[in-house]
Structure 1
Amino acid sequence: MDNGIRERLLGSEGKEVGNLKGKVYDESKKIWRVALPGIIARVASFGTIIVTQSFIGHINSLDLAGYALVQTLSVRFINGILIGMSSATETLCGQAYGARQYHMMGIYLQRSWIVDFITLTILLPIFIFGTPLFRLLGEEEGIARSAGYISWWFIPMVYNFVFTLTMQMYLQAQQKNGIVAWLSIMQLLIHVPVSWLFVNHLKWGVDGAMAALCISSWFVVFGEFAYIFGGWCPHTWSGFSTAAFKDILPVIKLSISSGVMVCLELWYNSILVLLAGYMSNAEVAISAFSICLNINGWEFMICLGFLGAACVRIANELGRGDAKATKFSIKVLITTSIVIGVFFTIICSVFGNKLGYLFTNDVEVAKTVSDLSILLAISVLLNSIYPVLSGVAVGAGLQGTVAIINLCCFYVIGIPIGALLGYVAHLQVEGIWIGMNIGVFTQTLALSYMAWKTDWDVQHEQLLASKSQYVPRQSSTNNFIYGAGPNHVVKQGVGGTWRSI
């Protein structure tokens, strides 16, 4: 081959490699800009729940059991629904931001407040009638009474979810969720001394611990309100609008499918813990399983950050109508998340026989945790894949499809197989977790196939068709015009101001 031709070929290959590295670097920056604040916020918020549990645990074991019961079952159930329903805000705001429909983002946020507030109010009897509910589940009378009392304290706390979850996703869609991370860090820093003051110094007991949790939780809400209302989101927030009450049915439909999707995922582990409670050595089984799930949960916080990043990136690129960029973003997201998952999988595999002693001095429990370490490592690896694929589906507005996949994979495949292996094959808690991992694995395969088979050009066209009244088009004067009717909103130029025509 001629030397000149060879040099040109090598030169072109070098340029392609260089361009690919540049594209990966740019995409990674966009991903981490969304994912890192989300990870910090979730870890810090989860920390306030753990701190409260620690303070209550030093009061007495009965209230600790009551708190754990409410937090594991009632709050997780409500939180799962509201996180899922709030992901509708993430989908709509992400797509609106990508399509430069900035004026719609504030309206979507207000619609989500309305839908989530009504939903939580309807579900409030779960907390109001906590004692009879836990009696019905067969809990001891003392634990049921304690859990019922603590349930009342959780009512003002859970209402913060209506605002924090939706505002976090609204800010995340426009890559302004750094403020959420800072507020969450401040929340944790405030929560610890306030808890100490109320519980240890003023001796308010459980009331003091729960009051501190309510105060720190609402601190984040007021901080986000101040940020949005204070003018830091000038293009996406123009004040309260009656438009929030119009065309609310599509938001309700998307919110319900999102709520079902996430709730099915969060309750999967809870049901498996309940199954572990019926084992021959239930105390050891539940303790060991809970320790493993706590480790898994901490790592899952990182994965949830990537879920949010996936949703934002896919929604943005779909809103712009760039199918090629959508596919590239999916590849970078999955690769990055898998690398992190492999890192934590290696840690769980190498230090598996030591992990249990971080949580307990009971040799039997620690040995059971060690026996489960390989399954924990597999679960951690799977955690690094399916949340990203779920985020891709959320960004594309495919929550309904994912809800069906979750239902089939978790509750038709995973739980029955886990029950059979645990009880019939006598594999005990190992059998339950094998079934759990099989369910997650089949879900990962299904979501991977869905992402691979999705025609992203068609998906963008469907997005435009479903939002034809908000589709942006560029006028001859370089103004972005939104709306198909007579009441358009115009953004003059790139950095101009909004006005109605």
Structure 2
Amino acid sequence: MDDEIKTKLLQYEEEEEEEGDLKQRIWIESKKIWRVAFPSVISRVCAFGTIVVTQSFIGHISDIDLAGYALVQTLSVRFVNGILLGMSSATETLCGQAFGAGHDHMMGIYLQRSWIVDLITLTVLLPVFIFATQIFRLVGEEEALAKSGGYISLWFIPFIYNYVFSLTIQMYLQAQLKNMIIAWLSTLQFAIHIPLSMLFVYKLNMGVAGAMISLSMSSWVLVIGEFIYIFGGWCPNSWKGFTVAAFKDLLPVVKLSISSGVMVCLELWYNAVLVLLAGYMADAEVAISAFSICLNVNVWEFMISLGFLGAACVRVANELGRGNAKAVKFSIKVLLGTSLTIGMFFFILCLVFGKKLAYVFTDDDRVADTVSDLSLLLSFSVLLNSIYPVLSGVAVGAGLQATVAIVNLVCFYLIGVPFGAMLGYLTSLEVKGIWIGMICGVLTQTITLLYLNWKTDWDLQVTRASERLNRFYLKTNDDADHVTNEL
């Protein structure tokens, strides 16, 4: 009897110890996640906030320019940003795994390779902005809307070039847990942007041009600050100066970048296609404006989710680089739990405030009423935002972008878009029907990614990460490969 009591006491003590150990592990993992996610959330919210603030200023200048800006920002800018963000996520994969494996000096080389690839890519894509009016006419937009969009599109060109550096540098810094500087710089960018916009739009009375000039100026403040931080010696282990090694092994990087680009583009373009569908409805100006306002609120909350996407990528990549498959699986569970809790909070917030959101962007009651009708669907979109970006981040960290690209193609474009078009045009739901289709696509994608994540062999991914790092690795003392000019 005594032995039985001792055994039960021993089991109870072990269970208590495991529970305490689990709490400690969750706390430690949460600190690692927030160390990446919090600065990333701040930087992304502020960066997107500058775009939304500009939209707000333009919305109070002219309704047609608001619709034109919404068209360019949602279609052209998101199109190009999707490609650059996706191709830059290859930097996130490689830098994260290199940091985990202790190959710090390779991170600077990966960063320079991403600059080369992204600069060439963006220059090739410039006709999207130069010939925007013709493109909008071609897809059937109204003449006034096409002209306004084409004019605003040209002002976006100096702005979009900041993406080449800001996106890649953020991924480079957060992979080595140094992205708090990005949060400070992004806050400065946002703080500067508001008075700059007031100066150019109201004081100098420059209208739309003034709003776009302030957007470009504030965006480059961030990039200049990033350059000062890197070149000034705050990344001594990962930045060894410019090197000709950046031009080597570009083809494998391009291949990984393309699969990354396709994965992210299919996500970001999804909303853009639905906005395009809204543009063909009877009252296109109201439909596009209302849909764009809801999408901007959705995307602004999505910036928080992207912070967790970045955290998921860094944590998964770091642990794969270290060869710890068990830590990868535990990190994914903590990430999903944390992100879902935040998603529930914003879900309730969107339900409560509904119609009031619209008046931040417009004075038009018709647009506000349409936004109010979409508020319930917006709330569900916000909730789903807390799940699938984390799973996408896991895929980026593991280098599984090609698989997720196929999932996105099927769920978004073979399910979501056709279903949304059918409900929008064949029923009385109109814009609401398009949004329901969008939610169906996202829900299908989320369920699929959850299943794929559950079935993934993480020990196999550890082996593949090791093989990838060894293939790209360059010795630090190889003078032939590193002709470096220290800055």
Do the structures match in fold with TM over 0.5? yes
1:314 maps to which of 301, 313, 316: 316
2:299 corresponding residue in structure 1: 297
Taking a change above 3 Å as real, the CA distance of residues 151 and 422 of structure 1, as seen in their structure-2 partners, is: closer
TM-score, normalised to structure 1's length? Answer: 0.90
2:84 corresponding residue in structure 1: 82
Distance 1:402 1:144 in 2: 34
| Contact in 1 for aligned 2:64/2:285 (Cα 8 Å) | no
Q: State the 1:21 CA deviation.
A: 0.4
Distance 1:51 1:377 in 2: 22
Distance 1:436 1:220 in 2: 33
Distance 1:86 1:243 in 2: 18
| Contact in 2 for aligned 1:131/1:147 (Cα 8 Å) | yes
Count matched residues: 478
2:426 corresponding residue in structure 1: 424
| Contact in 1 for aligned 2:316/2:328 (Cα 8 Å) | yes
* 1:456 is the counterpart of 2:458: yes
1:121 corresponding residue in structure 2: 123
Distance 1:415 1:327 in 2: 33
* 1:34 is the counterpart of 2:65: no
Distance 1:418 1:148 in 2: 27
Which sits farther off after the overlay, 4-13 or 169-178? 4-13
| Contact in 1 for aligned 2:35/2:177 (Cα 8 Å) | yes
2:57 maps to which of 55, 58, 74: 55
Q: State the 1:290 CA deviation.
A: 3.0
TM-score, normalised to structure 2's length? Answer: 0.92
Q: State the 1:366 CA deviation.
A: 4.5
2:135 corresponding residue in structure 1: 133
Superposed counterparts of 1:269-418, under 5 Å: 269-280=271-282, 282-352=284-354, 355=357, 365-418=367-420
| Contact in 2 for aligned 1:414/1:438 (Cα 8 Å) | yes
CA deviations 1:401-424 (Å, max 9, x no partner) are 111110110000111112222333
Taking a change above 3 Å as real, the CA distance of residues 150 and 358 of structure 1, as seen in their structure-2 partners, is: closer
1:238 corresponding residue in structure 2: 240
2:467 maps to which of 465, 481, 501: 465
CA deviations 1:153-203 (Å, max 9, x no partner) are 221111111001000000010111100010011011112222222332233
Taking a change above 3 Å as real, the CA distance of residues 199 and 419 of structure 1, as seen in their structure-2 partners, is: closer
2:443 corresponding residue in structure 1: 441
2:203 maps to which of 195, 201, 204: 201
Q: State the 1:433 CA deviation.
A: 2.0
Distance 1:357 1:149 in 2: 25
CA deviations 1:282-313 (Å, max 9, x no partner) are 45544443333232222111111100110000
Taking a change above 3 Å as real, the CA distance of residues 358 and 467 of structure 1, as seen in their structure-2 partners, is: closer
2:194 corresponding residue in structure 1: 192
Give the superposed CA RMSD.
2.3
Q: Secondary structure at the match of 2:156?
A: helix
1:180 maps to which of 182, 194, 213: 182
Higher relative contact order by CA 8 Å / sep ≥ 6: 1 or 2?
2
Where do 5+ consecutive residues of structure 2 fail to align? 481-487
Taking a change above 3 Å as real, the CA distance of residues 388 and 237 of structure 1, as seen in their structure-2 partners, is: same
Where do 5+ consecutive residues of structure 1 fail to align? 472-481, 490-501
2:485 corresponding residue in structure 1: none
Taking a change above 3 Å as real, the CA distance of residues 74 and 365 of structure 1, as seen in their structure-2 partners, is: closer
Which sits farther off after the overlay, 141-150 or 449-458? 141-150
Distance 2:66 2:363 in 1: 18
1:221 corresponding residue in structure 2: 223
Which sits farther off after the overlay, 107-116 or 396-405? 396-405
| Contact in 2 for aligned 1:101/1:470 (Cα 8 Å) | no
Distance 1:285 1:59 in 2: 19
Which sits farther off after the overlay, 151-160 or 36-45? 151-160
Which sits farther off after the overlay, 112-121 or 73-82? 73-82
